[in-house]
Chain A
Amino acid sequence: MPLLTQQIQDEDDQYSLVASLDNVRNLSTILKAIHFREHATCFATKNGIKVTVENAKCVQANAFIQAGIFQEFKVQEESVTFRINLTVLLDCLSIFGSSPMPGTLTALRMCYQGYGYPLMLFLEEGGVVTVCKINTQEPEETLDFDFCSTNVINKIILQSEGLREAFSELDMTSEVLQITMSPDKPYFRLSTFGNAGSSHLDYPKDSDLMEAFHCNQTQVNRYKISLLKPSTKALVLSCKGLTFSSRLECSGTISAHCSLDLLGSSNLPSSASQSARITGNEPPHLAPYHFLNNLCLSLVYLL
């Protein structure tokens, strides 16, 4: 599809958001990871797009896709917000099939005219073009966390393969998942207390899976496992490395960051990151990481 004619430039002026991607899978992979609810809120600024999915005001997942990921990215207004059916959006993004045919890339062009207009998707693969018009809805208020990068007490980086199995085998009869981070043994422990008994999974600080270990204070926090399960499965599946870090005032806020491999793009750094913020017993006052990476996912869990 010719994208650089003057006519297109003029047409583009009517859109408050225009974004193009050579490989749509970079977007669909990250959105699949937060797809545990039907609807999502999209929030676009000239820095990038943030897609938020919330569950009953208790769990929040955010996918941050920086402008640099896109081959073309234009936002005409200060910010563009809309609510959209994420299931339908994902069906459209993967219209040419969920599993890629070797050697083929599906290109995406996304256009949004503004409040009240549908989101237009133009997908192209091998000369075949699919046009999708998805109706948007009134954006909902989402929880806003004020994050800053200081006040980190503990930070652990693990290879996610090690956690993948652990998360998929969590004892669901346990109401909570307890995460322990400590400068002394057991260093990093995942515990459940289910019908059959309690189970503890320890990751010693000299384990092969441990990429970095910086713990200053012992912190033990419990999280509702039912809220955690759906999102962590997706989180771990799409990650290459997971970083757990907890902060001072948070009383149990843990950020889990993952690296996602970007597909089919030559001029971008090859990782994206996901971060999960899990809050403990008291309401958090949290600090986010500043990532040099372009794709960032964050999950926030509240008790």
Chain B
Amino acid sequence: MKFRAKIVDGACLNHFTRISNMIAKLAKTCTLRISPDKLNFILCDKLANGGVSMWCELEQENFFNEFQMEGVSAENNEIYLELTSENLSRALKTAQNARALKIKLTNKHFPCLTVSVELLSMSSSSRIVTHDIPIKVIPRKLWKDLQEPVVPDPDVSIYLPVLKTMKSVVEKMKNISNHLVIEANLDGELNLKIETELVCVTTHFKDLGNPPLASESTHEDRNVEHMAEVHIDIRKLLQFLAGQQVNPTKALCNIVNNKMVHFDLLHEDVSLQYFIPALS
């Protein structure tokens, strides 16, 4: 197994850092999958995560100007590593104005992802800061649980409003209730509702727009104003929203009635999918 990659472009480095910060906010521990063309940050829907799953994908050639990898074997040319997300984002913090960033798989008493940052200093000589991030190599037999999740046919698909507003509202709603209902219809309306003995709060987002339906036929006779809804844990939604520091290029929300809500975001060229299941 081998992995070596290098980033020299400042903009690519900053973007990679932002993605890593986002992942650190979304998942404490996650899986990094390295394949010849892509890097994936994966969180699978184990009970420990509360059923939440995440799939983040980036094309390696958009970031790295050097990228070499050799998987476990020729037929399975992939590497699956488990790491603590915060370790990576902390290491990347030192790479803010770096000249170059190198990442490679090493074995220093235990398997590591070594991040070395070449920094410019006042004098013309450069400094190198190295971070050894401990990782766990995930054996081949567990790979099947870490595949790209199948997105079920949504009942409603809608574009999300400004995430900052959503986050402010959900943050306040969290003080009142642990559960939230997210509902949307094909008329561009999305509502967030909480209800306790003391108070009911509903926030209405309008004119959001819906993407064209994939399967026109099944939804033809559906009432456009009919709402599809899911009951979810408010903290999971807040965690997802808190991870979006920058407004995404594209943000879509898919709701499967009473089953789950699926967020499909695009941050420039990096795609993020986040699944929150319904509360049982």
Contacts and interface: CB of A to CB of B under 8 A. Distances in A.
Given A96-B168, A97-B168, A125-B165, A88 B202 contact: no
B36 interface: no
A128 B203 contact: yes
B169 interface: yes
B199 A88 contact: yes
A127 B176 CA distance: 23
Main secondary structure of the interface of A (DSSP, over half): mixed
Contacts of A95: 168-169, 172-173, 201, 203
B204 interface: yes
Nearest to A94: B172
Interface in B151-183: 161-162, 164-165, 168-169, 171-173, 175-176
A130 interface: yes
Given A95-B203, A125-B165, A135 B197 contact: yes
B176 A88 contact: yes
B207 interface: yes
Contacts of A132: 199-202
B249 to A, nearest CB: 21
Contacts, number: 63
B3 interface: no
Given A95-B172, A97-B168, A97-B172, A128 B199 contact: no
Interface residues of B, number: 22
A271 interface: no
B206 interface: yes
Contacts of A131: 201-204
B64 interface: no
Interface string B190-217: 0000000111111111110000000000
B156 to A, nearest CB: 19
B254 to A, nearest CB: 21
Name the interface size band of chain A. Answer: 20 to 34
A92 B203 CA distance: 11
Nearest to A127: B206
Contacts of A129: 203-204, 206
Interface in A82-129: 85, 88, 91-92, 94-97, 101, 118, 125-129
A88 B172 contact: no
A96 B199 contact: no
Nearest to A89: B199
Contacts of B164: 101
Contacts of B175: 91
A292 to B, nearest CB: 35
Contact of A130 (B171, B203, B207): B203
B197 A128 contact: no
Interface string B125-168: 00000000000000000000000000000000000011011001
A134 interface: yes
Nearest to B207: A127
A194 B161 CA distance: 55
Nearest to B173: A95
A126 B165 contact: yes
Contacts of B199: 85, 88, 92, 118, 132-135
Contacts of B205: 128
A104 to B, nearest CB: 10
Given A88-B176, A91-B172, A94-B172, A130 B202 contact: yes
A101 B162 CA distance: 13
6 contacts: A88-B198, A96-B165, A96-B168, A128-B161, A132-B202, A134-B199
Interface of A: 85, 88, 91-92, 94-97, 101, 118, 125-135
Given A126-B165, A130-B204, 10 more contacts: A88-B198, A91-B175, A94-B172, A95-B168, A96-B165, A127-B207, A128-B161, A128-B205, A128-B206, A131-B203
Going nearest first, the 5 A-B pairs with the smallest beta carbon separation are A97-B168, A130-B203, A133-B200, A134-B199, A132-B201
